[in-house]
Amino acid sequence: MSLFPESSALPAGRAVLLSIKPKYADLILAGSKRVELRRSWPSNDIGAMVLYSSAPVQLLVGVAYVDRVNEADVAGLWKLSHDYGGGVTEDELLDYFVGKKKAYGIMIKSAKAAQHSIDPKVIFADFVPPQSFQYLTSGDFQKVMHAIFPEE
């Protein structure tokens, strides 16, 4: 069930704005990174991730749609990363998840690069990049989508 009843073009579940390093945002948008690895993830059903490419880019660069979320131990996450393009080496993965018994592999169904990458402060006057992610209301998600895909 969509939490965005205003339009059938909106994803099922909620939307989040995801802070992500530019290298990984580029890999997701290129389609070669099909799993996003996270130390924590919201329990709510997430359908879309608006990608905020962190410093030095600092722009909204696209959107990725979530297929499913896998909770796994580090060995399970390495298998997901290896099989689905996690964009990291095994050593990088081990360093990132040190001390974590369980973490998350967010499986990406599809991703779309923005027609126009945009400074989030154009949409959100008091924008502060989230440490990991922040929820978007349906109205905020629509504003973002209209800003980064103005021709659709």
pLDDT value at position 138? 93
| HSE of 41, CA atoms in CB hemisphere, 13 A | 23
Closest CA to 15 of 107, 147, 146, 135: 135
CATH superfamily of 14-148: Hypothetical protein. (2.30.130.30)
State the pTM of this model.
Answer: 0.89
* CA–CA gap between residue 45 and residue 42 (Å, rounded): 8
Residue by residue, pLDDT tens for the chain (152 residues) are 344 434 334 567 899 999 999 999 999 999 999 999 999 998 778 999 999 999 999 999 999 999 999 999 999 999 999 999 999 999 999 999 999 999 999 999 999 999 999 999 999 999 999 999 999 999 999 999 999 999 88
* Residue 114, Cβ density class (10 Å: 0-12 exposed, 13-18 middle, ≥19 buried): buried
* CA–CA gap between residue 77 and residue 93 (Å, rounded): 8
pLDDT value at position 93? 93
* CA–CA gap between residue 55 and residue 36 (Å, rounded): 18
Q: Report which secondary-structure segment, H or E, holds 47.
A: strand 46-53
